[in-house]
């Protein structure tokens, strides 16, 4: 069995390791366009914010470690064509620029995602960055060492935009966060939650909502950001407007995809082309609640699907059970988590629903550090089965999302939360946890 994997990050690396464990005799070869493998991009905002200093902490395994397990990784090798009929790929050696072919029995496409860069005038100026790979992080960190670079503009109010904003404020930079939509985290949280996050952001940075960036000014290096409302000085600009599947390689194949290029797979990770599998941030995942294929580029889904696909590449019969899109972030002294469907997503899925919102405290009032917490739960209007939930507040708010994810995964009803035996100890919770209360008062 000869298995070729295109891409050596989360999904590709997980698949290779699992396939080798499943079939130690299999030939497994990975082609990776960059010179870095098994990279965890989620750590980038914290690397830039000096939470740690060694960028290699974001690398899980090196090519040498893979080689010890009998997995061959060819870095700086870009796959430029796939021929499904001949079961052959064409590769370009980036160092020599020479091209050559390789064949496969099974092929995994795990090429990940690429940053979305809006059509902004003069976006090629120096000190305008995206934040997706290690070299982005190193370049931004280097630019920040220049004390004259004090005015930073972050474009985009998603997870990365908010996390990098917090890190930049901690570095004593003047940060302006510009968001096109009427609120931050518009695709992940409902307005009741984002309002709290925005209030916290406004205490630490200059938040601009419903404002469109049109371009940049500067000779060689950016000096100003131009929007539909004003012109702002900028020494550094970070564009964090989301990602899209890196579909250039496979766009001309007859692969079934979503409109954004995300590859549609079945529960085994198979595409609609024989012996070609896909995983990671270039694929659409099955959502367990909406029961539809959706694009949710998260490290958790990439790693888990990669493991499933790796098993199947080597002869297994494993199925990926789907995703809930469970995720969280911290923004200064607020943490927030979400899982399942938001209210807006329930509307889009045409699911009859109800909601319950509870405001409470994270733990007992006689223990230092008590803060407010808000929970919003969405449940089916007829069956009362939980559809989604969000929490935001002080310490302990985000991790409660894991309890909600477990309940949704198990198809529990909202009412069952009322008597759920959550832990109680004064430093962690109150006798009636906020989720108990939500389950008890849901109408």
Q: How much is the pLDDT for 438?
A: 98
Residues of the chain with pLDDT below 50 are none
Q: Cα separations (Å) of 170 from 233, 234, 339, 376, 433?
A: 20, 18, 29, 30, 33
Q: How much is the pLDDT for 244?
A: 97
282: annotated active-site residue: no
Q: How much is the pLDDT for 179?
A: 98
- Cβ-Cβ contacts under 8 Å for 166 (sequence gap 6 or more): 45, 49, 204, 330, 331, 332
Q: How much is the pLDDT for 269?
A: 98
**Which residue in the list 42, 99, 205, 282 is annotated as catalytic?**
42
Q: How much is the pLDDT for 243?
A: 97
Q: How much is the pLDDT for 108?
A: 98
The first and second tokens of residue 134, run together, are 């290690």
The closest alpha carbon to 338, from 388, 297, 302, belongs to 388
Q: What percent of the chain has pLDDT over 90?
A: 100
pLDDT digits (tens, 9 = 90+) for 167-221: 999 999 999 999 999 999 999 999 999 999 999 999 999 999 999 999 999 999 9
Q: How much is the pLDDT for 143?
A: 97
Q: How much is the pLDDT for 14?
A: 97
pLDDT digits (tens, 9 = 90+) for 325-376: 999 999 999 999 999 999 999 999 999 999 999 999 999 999 999 999 999 9
CB 367 within 8 A of CB 426: yes
- Which domains, and CATH codes, for the chain? 2-114+244-313 (3.50.50.60), 117-241 (3.50.50.60), 333-441 (3.30.390.30)
CB 204 within 8 A of CB 177: no
pLDDT digits (tens, 9 = 90+) for 153-165: 999 999 999 999 9
d(CA 431, CA 437): 10
Q: How much is the pLDDT for 442?
A: 97
């Amino acid at each position: 069995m000869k298995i070729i994997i295109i891409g050596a990050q989360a999904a590709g690396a997980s698949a290779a390791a699992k396939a080798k464990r499943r079939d130690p005799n299999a030939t497994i070869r990975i082609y990776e366009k960059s010179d870095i493998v098994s990279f965890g991009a989620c750590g980038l905002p914290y690397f830039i914010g000096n939470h740690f200093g060694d960028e290699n902490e974001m690398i899980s395994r090196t090519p040498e470690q893979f080689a010890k397990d009998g997995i061959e990784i060819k870095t700086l090798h870009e796959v430029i064509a796939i021929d499904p009929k001949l079961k052959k790929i064409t590769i370009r050696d980036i160092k020599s620029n020479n091209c050559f072919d390789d064949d496969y029995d099974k092929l995994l496409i795990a090429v990940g995602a690429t940053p979305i860069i809006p059509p902004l005038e003069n976006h090629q100026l120096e000190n305008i960055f995206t934040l997706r790979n290690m070299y982005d992080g190193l370049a931004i960190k280097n630019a920040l060492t220049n004390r004259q670079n004090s005015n930073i503009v972050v474009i985009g109010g998603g997870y990365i935009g908010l996390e990098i904003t917090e890190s930049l404020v901690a570095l004593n930079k003047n940060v302006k966060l510009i968001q096109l939509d009427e609120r931050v985290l518009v695709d992940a949280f409902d307005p009741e939650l984002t309002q709290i996050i925005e209030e916290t952001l406004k205490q630490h940075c200059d938040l601009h909502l419903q404002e469109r960036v049109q371009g940049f000014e500067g000779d060689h290096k950016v000096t100003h950001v131009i929007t539909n409302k004003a012109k702002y000085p900028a020494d550094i600009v970070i564009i964090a407007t989301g990602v899209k599947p890196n579909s250039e390689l496979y766009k001309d194949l007859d692969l079934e995809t979503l409109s954004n290029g995300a590859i549609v797979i079945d529960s085994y990770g198979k595409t609609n082309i024989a012996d070609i599998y896909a995983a990671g941030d270039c694929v659409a995942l099955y959502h367990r609640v909406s029961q539809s294929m959706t694009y949710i580029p998260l490290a958790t889904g990439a790693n888990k699907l990669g493991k499933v696909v790796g098993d199947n590449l080597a002869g297994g019969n494993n199925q990926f059970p789907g995703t809930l899109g469970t995720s969280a972030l911290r923004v200064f002294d607020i943490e927030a988590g979400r899982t399942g469907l938001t209210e807006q997503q329930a509307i889009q899925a045409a699911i009859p629903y109800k909601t319950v919102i509870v405001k409470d405290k994270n733990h007992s009032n006689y223990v230092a550090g008590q803060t407010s917490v808000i929970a919003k739960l969405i449940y089916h209007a007829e069956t009362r089965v939980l559809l989604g939930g969000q929490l935001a507040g002080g310490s302990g708010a985000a991790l409660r999302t894991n309890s909600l994810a477990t309940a949704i995964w198990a198809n529990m009803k909202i009412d069952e939360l009322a008597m759920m035996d959550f832990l109680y100890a004064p430093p962690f919770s109150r006798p009636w946890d906020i989720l108990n209360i939500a389950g008890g008062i849901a109408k």
